[in-house]
Each structure stands twice: as C-alpha cells, then as structure tokens.
Structure 1
C-alpha cells in the first residue's frame, strides 16, 4: 500500500485482496461527516504538499502543474469567495468549464461549503440552459468564455430570473465576474463546515436518450466509492500519470479525474482540447509518457484508423474503456499493437463502476467483466426474478434506496422516476445483459432497445458489433421496424466509411455478412444508409429517434 493511500485506507476502506493483488471484497466505512475536500485533498496537502496532483495541458501547449497543496489552497479560496458572494449550503451551482483546471478549484471549494456542483457540457444551447436552470433552480454559474457559452447563458436568462451571479474564466464579458482574479482576493485557508456523508454533493443531468434529461443527485459518499474505479479498474498508484478524456460536464469526469485518482496518489493528466483529433491525443500520450489511459471505444477505433504504428505508446502500462460497449475487433487491434488488453468497465451516471474487468482479471473481448464487490448485482426478468445463465435480463443492484454509498440519492424533483428505478426492492439500471458460465456479463442493450421479432428477443449490440467489423461501416444503429407479416424486424441504419457508396448490392453484402457471423434470424432485413445518426449531446446514439422517425414515415 502506498504512503499516500495508507491513512485513507486505515480510516475508511475495508478490502481483501488475494495473493496476486486481485480484489476479493470491498467495503466503505465512512464517518458521518466524510467530505472529500477536507478528508482527502486537505489531508494530502498536509502529508505530501509538494506531490503533483494534476498536470494540465491545452492544445496550444500551455502547461500548468498543481500540487496537492495548490488544490487545497485554491479550493479554500473558492469556498471563501463563494460564501462572500452569498452561496449557501444546498445552493445549486452550475459549472460549464470544459476541461479547464478551474473546474477542480470550484468543485472542491463547493464541497467545503456544502453547495451542490452541477456540471454541464459547453455544447448546450439556449433551450438547454433554460430547461436546466428551471429544473434545478440554479442560482450561480461559473462558465468558460469560449464556445459562445456566455451568450447562450445570457440569452437563456431572458427567460429565467433565479440567477444571482455569474462567474467567467478564459475570457471576459460584461456583467460577469472574473473567476480567477476574484478568487485571488480571498484567504487560502478555510475552517471546516460540517457536512453529512448522505447530504447532496453533486448533480448530473443524464443524457436523455428517451426524453428530457433526468437530474441525478449524488451524496458525499460517491467520492470515496470511486476508489474502486481508480485503484481496481484503472489500476493506479502514486507513480501513475492517468488521462481520462471526458469533458467535465459528464459523469465520466467523476469516474476518471475527480476522486479516486487523487486518493491513489496518482497524477491526473488533463488535456484541454476542443475537438477530438486522434493524432493529437496519440501525440500527447507519446510526448508526456502517460502510463494509464481511459476513453470510449469510438476513440480507440479512430486511433486504430489513424495508424498506431506512427506513435510510441510504450509508456502506457494500462488502458481502460467505457461509455459504450466494446467491439472485440477494437480489443484485438489495440492488443496487437500495444500489448495491452483493454479493460472494459460498465456503469452509469447513477453510480461508480458496476461491472468491470478489474486488475488481475483476464478480460474476454466484448465482455463487460464481472460485478464489482461494491455491489450485490444480478440479472432479472420483467418481474424481478433472476434469469438463468445465458438468458438476457436487466442488470439490477440488490439494495434498499439510499443504502449503497456508490449509488445516487434520487432523481431530483422526480419521485415517480426514482420510485420506478427502485421497484421490487432493487435498483434497476435499465440496461440488459446475460451472464456466461464463467460469471462474465455481456451487454445486450437498453431495455427500451430490445427487439422482439418472430418470437426472438434480439439485442442491438451484437449485430452492431458484427457490422462494425465490415470495412464499409463507420457507424451503425440497430432498431426494430414494423413489418406487416412478422410484426417487427431488425433494421440497420448505417453511416458508411469514406470511399463507399450506398447501393442495394452493398446492403445485401452487409446482410450476408451478419448471417455468416451469428444466428440467421438476427440479420437486418432492412438496411438504410444515412449521412449521420441522431445522437444526444454526450454522443450516445438515440435509437428511439430512429424508431420515432420510422413510425412517422409509416403513419
């Protein structure tokens, strides 16, 4: 155990490892007043003040190094500043800060005063802000000056009167307070304000694939729960230099660069970029000699197409994948070049990693892995009863509402959705999978995306994985389509790669390609070629929109 982690583990974590360092059991025993800012950031600042906590780099090559002492002092300055400007315990403060380092100052500062951080992506438009401001009663906002964010916010405020003050960074705008210059006016020390481990700390807006985004409200215990994410999934220690690519507006930021990484004593690497350019990210990994990396499968696919042989990635010791299900082809190509096996993890905005390939496990390409010891997880049918091995069902967590420290507190102001998620005395993820004989889980799809055709239950991911292996397919979505004879049939909506042209012959070729790789009843009887797929702001495919558009065409 590292010198950085020892005190935290001695006080709060009970875990058992086997002889090879693999996790057997994991339990959090948190004090009632646990607060990540005080009990981790400030404590590390006392014990290892000069250790590098975060290394920040942007596209222009500007660099900033922040020690644990820096994070402690700057978060205290933010806490003092926010209190002076009227922020109170329980207030909701929105952060639209891309990958700017100011996000960390703000996040830990708000935790110290008991205010609730509400991260948001810079891709939002006026209507998105209006909805979010109203839904959460946002009273303060801290935003980047980039990407037209201030103008979109000000436009939204013409329809919302609850905003008290606006802070800005990476630029200026009339009517906004300069975040950094204002912060520097305040003391670097802060006297602890007591918070409770079950009180509200952080709230995300979900991706909203089937409607308006829900507000996922988290308690202070989430921060400690993410130690399993960082130590046992990312496999970090005090020598690690880890990059998770997520923008701060998404829950993957909490997974990859807010909590567990710092408890491990690792250095969190932040690459602040606007547009994902595969060559640039690969160059960052190469030039800064990153040791650990986590990104969604789509990025790995682009890395492979970019040409991995053109970069020296030998510094990488571990690589993980999350955000969408992993195609085996991506796993195999990455392993072929780097010698690293992609360790997939599965979870949601609602909690820490649920199922994963933790350190020491042998991953099966395409499998999510096994349930993590932080939860009691199973797969059930529509009545909440366990299904057999190999049978598809919904992934659930057996726990009473509020009982598990890693799961969200509630869907804020939506008791109906909260009650529906916790029916039958268990938390329902809404994601389906099946378990094989070895206990590995295999993702099938969202419950709403399951296709029932000709008496069969068909998950979209398996078919999408097969199609993605064909060189002509850049992206695809599998959905159910109405059929006069069969009721429902499988439909493939496909975006072609460069150099390929849509034709009946290509559609037939793709249908046969699927038939040769899986049970014939699963092949797409309908193939539609499109220029792009409908997606959420976070980049998730909105299959529901494809289904709705098909229904409109047939009505």
Structure 2
C-alpha cells in the first residue's frame, strides 16, 4: 500500500483546491449538503476541510452502506452531491430515480464511470487559491445519521462552533495530545468517532493524524502497525481491544506507544487488566454521543476506577437525574443528563433535523437526557448501567447487561458476549447471554459449559444477575461502527414469545 504524508501547510493547499472543486464543477454553495460513502482514503480528509472552508454541510457515511441505506439518507438529507469509491457507485446508480435532490455524483477512483465526475481529474484542474467563508458559530457544519433502538436513523445537526472548539479539552486531557504526538484512531470514517479523533481533537492540539486503510479489522495488522510506526497515541473500540488481548502482546514491541483511549461502549475491567499486564499501558475510557462532544472521561493523571466512565468533561455539567429531572444522590441509578439551563452548552448538537418531537423529547427540566442509565459516586465518577431500553427488569431486579458481560468475559471460555432480556412467564423477563466461545472451548459439552458460566457469574457478581439462558453463537450483530447491537438480539428474543 502506498504511503501518503501531508504537512499542515500541504493540507491547507490541497484543501483549497478541493474547496474550489466543490464550488466550481460540483456546483455546491454555502448551506448545500454533500454526502460521502468512502473507505479510509486521504481524499476524505480533504473533503472535510473543503466543506468547512466553503460552508457546505458534510454528511459522512460508512462504505458498508447498502443501496437502501444510501437512498434513505439521500432522500432524508436532500443532499445535492455524493462522493463515493468505485465500489459504491453501482449502489448509488441503482437508486438515482428515487433521489430527486441529488445533482452531482463524484467518484474517488483511477477509472471513469458514465454519469460521474472524477475526483482526481477535477482536483488536478482546480486552482490553489480560495477565500474561506466566514461561517457563524451556530451555522450547520455536519450532519450525522444516528441509529436509535427504534425507528429510522435520525439526523443530528452540529454547528461550526460545536465541532471545533468543543474538542479542545478532551483532545488535550483525555487523549493527552501535544504537537509531538502521532495519533491513530481506527474508527470507520462514517462513524462520529472519526470526527472526534481523526480530525478535530488532534489537529486542534497540533498532533499528527495517522491513518491505515484497514479494509477489515485484523488484530495482527493492528499490532504489527503499532510495532512498525511511531504511533504515540492509540484509539480503538472496546470490541477491538477485546480481540487484541487474545493475542500474545508481549511478542510485539511498541517502541513509541504511550497512551491508549477507547469509547463507544463500556470497557470491561478484565480487558483493561489484560492489556496493561502485557503492555504496561492503561486504557483511558471516554464517553460521549453523536449529539455531544466528550461527556466524561478518564484523563491522564486521574485515578482510574475500573468499570467507571470517569468524570464530567468540560464544559459539561453532568448529573444523574430521575424521571422528573431531579438530581439523584450518589449511588442512586438514573438517567445520565447534561445541564442545558440557564445556558445551553455551546458544543451540544443543534437539533434532530425535521424531527422537533425527538428534539423536544431529549430534554427534561434543566437537562438534556442522553438515554443512558448510570450512577455517580461520592467522588464524581460515573458508573454506566446500560441504555435505558437495554436495562433488564427481572422480578423487580434491575440488571445492566454490561455487568453480566464483564463477568462473563473473565471466564477463559468467553471470547465475546452480549446480554439482553428474554421473556419469562414467571419473572417477566430474565437475563440471556449470547456467547462466542474461545477456540479452545468449542468442543466442550454445551450443557456443562452453560452451568459453568452461570456459576461463574454468580461468583463474580450478584447471584441474581446470572444468565438463566445461554446461547452459543458464532458471531454477534454489530453496527458499522463495531458496536454490539443488543436491540437486534432483544427483538429476536421477544418475537419468539
């Protein structure tokens, strides 16, 4: 694979050429929307900068999107332009008749295709001088489609202010970035974490962004890359860390690596312990949403409490509230909430586009409600329980799936697991665990292994939390960002009832 290196000065020149390309041959104006469906290619970063320069609203999408996904997003967003790789072009062509707002199709490829403009051809012909548009702080900059537990993906609108200055603090403290750092974030560029860790946080702090094409996640490729290149800061999903610790990490020498972060789903203490035991490095967990910048995090120099999401990250005032919006005392479960009154934080999303009901429903009293359940301890650490609709209520006992999953993964037989509610005629619902087995346990008797895992959970955590049902599977449903989709498994369970 060819290596590409750009300095900040070169990025400035190249992004100006890209900006002229968007406003020239592509015919885009300030406020127009452009959608991308690309793998991790350098052109994506140029497009991000070009959109900021021109005031064009950027809509990232993963290259895993199907024709149906693309059609829905183009229709909902009214995007005038789409930029794709050659692999995604046929999918776009197949839904063109449905997308009446789409005017320009741009392809990043060495070849040509009828009806498509070629990125490289336009880029070479574009001038390198461009006057940056002076956008307003509350002017829309980026739209992300975010999937909830029900309904079609919602459009989250972020402003120029929220996705710039908002990441200064987390980049400096949680990610611990300086101008001398090289930061590798493995996130798919269609996921919001790529904006966090592959654009704004590192560049605001003067850090170098490292990118690997990484067509699919392969632990060996990740580990060899960390050993070969001078990456100082590494960010990947919790699921990825789970996979990496299955390898003998002591056989690799990470000469430059000094700081590791993760987010997107709760980090199991067992995974953190195994990573540190083999690398000597802690994993600093952060928590946020598409609608926010970093809500809370474990930052460098702070005591890490394993299993905690850390403390509130500036500028947010994070509280745990009840159904009426009252702040809960330490140790009492409630909804994770961000104070929005008397003044709304500048880096909170603007709205769910074309969905005022959803926007209004996200607020309760003086707070924005994240939809996550947690507790806060006396020292201000947040302890994740689960999504509001993931929490299992069995015979009056509220059980967070994360607790059970963390207990399961401590058993050597468990490679990965997902815990959901399952209908029960007596208890209403019970805990069910879907388990991917480690290779060494594939030949074991399923019934005996089920009992062993149940007894293990009873010992590790409160006995009432053990999975009364266990199903061994070969894989788990995951989003394009690599998060386990518990809602898919839960729907399957309740559909059987």
Name the TM-score, length of structure 1 as normaliser.
0.86
Taking the aligned partners of 2:186 and 2:419, their CA distance within structure 1 comes to 27
* Structure showing greater relative contact order (alpha-carbon pairs closer than 8 Å, 6 or more residues apart): 1
After superposition, the C-alpha distances for 1:431-486 in whole angstroms (9 at most, x for unaligned) are: 11111232211111100011111221111100111111112222222112222122
TM-aligned CA deviation for residue 497 of structure 1 = 2.3
Taking the aligned partners of 1:343 and 1:464, their CA distance within structure 2 comes to 19
Residue 380 (str. 1) matches residue 344 (str. 2): no
Unaligned runs of at least 5 residues, structure 2: none
1:173-322 matched pairs, under 5 angstroms: 173-221=113-161, 222-322=163-263
Name the TM-score, length of structure 2 as normaliser.
0.96
TM-aligned CA deviation for residue 271 of structure 1 = 1.0
TM-aligned CA deviation for residue 402 of structure 1 = 8.3
Residue 165 (str. 1) matches residue 108 (str. 2): no
1:11-50 matched pairs, under 5 angstroms: none
1:517 to 455, 460, 465: 460
Residue aligning to 1:42: none
Residue aligning to 1:391: 332
2:487 to 528, 544, 548: 544
CA change 1:201–1:402 in 2 (3 A) is farther
CA RMSD of aligned residues (A): 1.5
Q: What is the SS of the residue equivalent to 2:49?
A: helix
Unaligned runs of at least 5 residues, structure 1: 1-59
1:525-536 matched pairs, under 5 angstroms: 525-536=468-479
After superposition, the C-alpha distances for 1:371-412 in whole angstroms (9 at most, x for unaligned) are: 112101100112211222112111000014982122111111
After superposition, the C-alpha distances for 1:329-375 in whole angstroms (9 at most, x for unaligned) are: 11111111222111110011111110101122121122110111210
Decide which moves more: 401-410 or 263-272: 401-410
Contact 1:314/1:338 (8 A) holds in 2: no
1:382-531 matched pairs, under 5 angstroms: 382-400=323-341, 403-499=344-440, 500-501=442-443, 503-531=446-474
TM-aligned CA deviation for residue 429 of structure 1 = 0.5
Contact 1:474/1:497 (8 A) holds in 2: yes
Residue 66 (str. 1) matches residue 10 (str. 2): no
Contact 2:55/2:135 (8 A) holds in 1: yes
Decide which moves more: 416-425 or 167-176: 167-176
Runs of 4+ off more than 3 Å: none
After superposition, the C-alpha distances for 1:57-92 in whole angstroms (9 at most, x for unaligned) are: xxx2x1111111111111111211211131011111
1:155 to 94, 106, 115: 94
User: How many equivalent pairs are there?
Assistant: 492
Taking the aligned partners of 1:463 and 1:544, their CA distance within structure 2 comes to 16
Contact 2:325/2:366 (8 A) holds in 1: no
